[in-house]
Structure 1
Amino acid sequence: MGYPFTLDDVAYLRTPEGEAAAAEVERLPLTPASHLADVTTARSLFGARAGALVETVLLRRKASAKVPWRDWLFTADALQQATPWPVAVSRAARLAGRDVHDVTCSVGVDVAAAAEVARRVVGSDIDPVRLAMARGNVPSAAFVRADALHPATRDTVVLADPARRDASGRRRWRPADFTPPLDALAAAYAGRDMSVKCAPGVDPADVPWADEIELVSLDGAVREACLWTGTLATAHRRATVLRSDGSSWTLTDASDDTCPVTPIDAWIIDPDGAVVRAGLVRHYAARHGLSQLDEHIAYLTGPVPPPGIRAFQVLEHGKYTEKSLRAALSRLSVGRAEILVRGLDVDPNTLRPRLKLRGPEEASVILTRIGRTPTAIICRASRHDVETSALSLRHGG
């Protein structure tokens, strides 16, 4: 839950006095080992303001992994749900030149991203503290206190990020339990262009009003699903893959999905989670000249992996039994093994000690099903780029 900020706290933190006090608290280490002593120091310096100051400093430190600003205000819950900046920027790109209303603006991350490209941006929230923080965080936007289910603007693109945790912090999985519920949100803005942030596990059957479902990953981790409606939708299913270095690519169900099923080749490729969750594995394979090992399994294979991904160079493979896998790893002197499982009922943590690994080598073990055959593929993982692809071809790898 975190510190319960008040409107008075927000007003103080935005004054020159509050900013100077926060800078003073920032000098404290505030590590787990020093926390009690540091809080005592803060209280001796700033009295009743110490709680808000310490929480602000701690949240700003955590926020550095998500957003580029060092002077923003957050609540703990708002930071936890805040969209990582590269994801917010990617979503905002579709809003260029439009009038935009973020109806669940919280402390303003998505408002700030939209403000960089949109014509006008309005943010609203039911929580007065978050709204006060947002006003200071994004002074270029307009803000109003309003319930997301009661439209406060007309003729604007609607952004929404319903809360997916209850008052105790437990995650809620059913769209009907979000705040506000997804169906109620869609009904309130029927006929409007919408962009709704959602959990990546959303079932398309639960959101029949969404014209496009986009799965978004950042640095290999699937971060969200985004539901698009109206003229904002440009496909039915989309995977968007982002990197913190600014690179990105996207794939939609409009692309070719012609993909054969072949025996294991020189490399195994595990597509990005956004591709898998968007149901675009065959489309990804077709784009990069890869094949499926099994039409129901998401692992792909080919002579050369796509550049810029982590891929697995095949050392050997065969029918999986625990005994045969243990013997193969012993023969290869593997003492450390990453175990990846898809399509088999195998617990890597239970299996690993039974393999009795010994030796100086490392390997990745992929356990999967090809047809009805349980299969073990022993690999060497590598980060693949254009140069390593060329080297592999020159040496016949």
Structure 2
Amino acid sequence: MSRLPLEGVRVVALEQYISGPYCTMWLADAGAEVIKVERPDGGDPRRVFMPQRQGDNGESVSGGFFSFNRNKKSVTLDLRSDEGIEAYRQLVATADVVVENLRPGAVDKLGIGYADLTADRDDLVYAAISGYGRTEGLPFAGRPAFDAAILGMSGITHVTGGSADRPPELPMYGLADMTTGILAGYQILMSLFDRERTGQGRLIDVSMYDTMVALNERPLMHHAFTGKVITRGPDAFQAPMGAYECADGFISLVVPNDLMWRRVAACIGRPELADDPATATGAARAADPDSYLPAMTAWLRERTRAQAVAELEAAGVPVGIVQDSSDIAACPHLEARGMFVRVQDPDIGEVRMPHAPFALSDSAPVPARSVPRLGADNEEILGALELDQDRLARATGAALTTAP
């Protein structure tokens, strides 16, 4: 019988915005029970992010919250109260994993940091996600961080944009947050695997800055090998590389070696460009784009994207159409791969969204539960703790009720 690989794993998620929620949503997609701990007064700030869709009943759901919180449960705890702290401690005692991405030091001040929660147990896997890490005394320790700040600090923004004479540009929204969330999940799985052998949990100190510096491999490799700083604009060693216009839009390709260039040259009807010293090597082509680019662009503009891709692929050149979100949503290949789940939301109806890209041979399908309403699981989750109803009501910031 097929099952999800993380069934039976309980995750307590003291999280907000993107990095923590993205990490735990992937764990939830793999079958983990993820309990999202939120403030009673509004919950995760992304619950009100735009865009929003409104149902016939007048209730609205935020797309920015929907993208990172499917398949979870929500409980509300007032961590400013003794009862809320007590309930949180009891809840963590039932968990295998804690994921939190609050500002460094915040949970320690409340008495619910890693050292506090593991004083009486050593098997807890605790992932703390932050901008610059939790090591005290370092130059950037304790700095607040959002995605854009980390992308700039890590050098990703420096190499993003059209050319060196234009300002840097931010890459895709949420890149640092989501990449760090994935890396946190990877380390959580390593730690759970190791716990099976040793019985020991651990603290996982996940830094967005570390993550994006590791991802910024190529500029750092160039600096290590040449002492030079590469910036926005064309590569010095590989060409063509980028997006190129066809009759109905753009295609994207890179020619990483001269064998591949020989194939491109033959495909566009200019085989002599493969042997001409001005165009035979990547460095030569990069130094003088006018030596090859007019011929290539003229060939492309006579063809649709589909035609150009078909001819280049037939010649052995990997290439792709530059798709927008509507192209991707309608992609038959992704549909056949099962990359989209159809989430049935109680207020706004069906929403078709991409899920974590798992393709395991004997796994059950990725679940398609909608995002939890704030505090919807208080009764189920918190009601099982050793607190009386009055203390639970104070812990949650309101009377213990089942959300609609």
Give TM-score scaled by structure 2 length.
0.28
Q: Which gives a bigger RCO, structure 1 or 2 (Cα 8 Å, sep 6+)?
A: 2
Q: Which has the higher strand share?
A: 1
Q: Which has the higher helix share?
A: 2
Give TM-score scaled by structure 1 length.
0.29
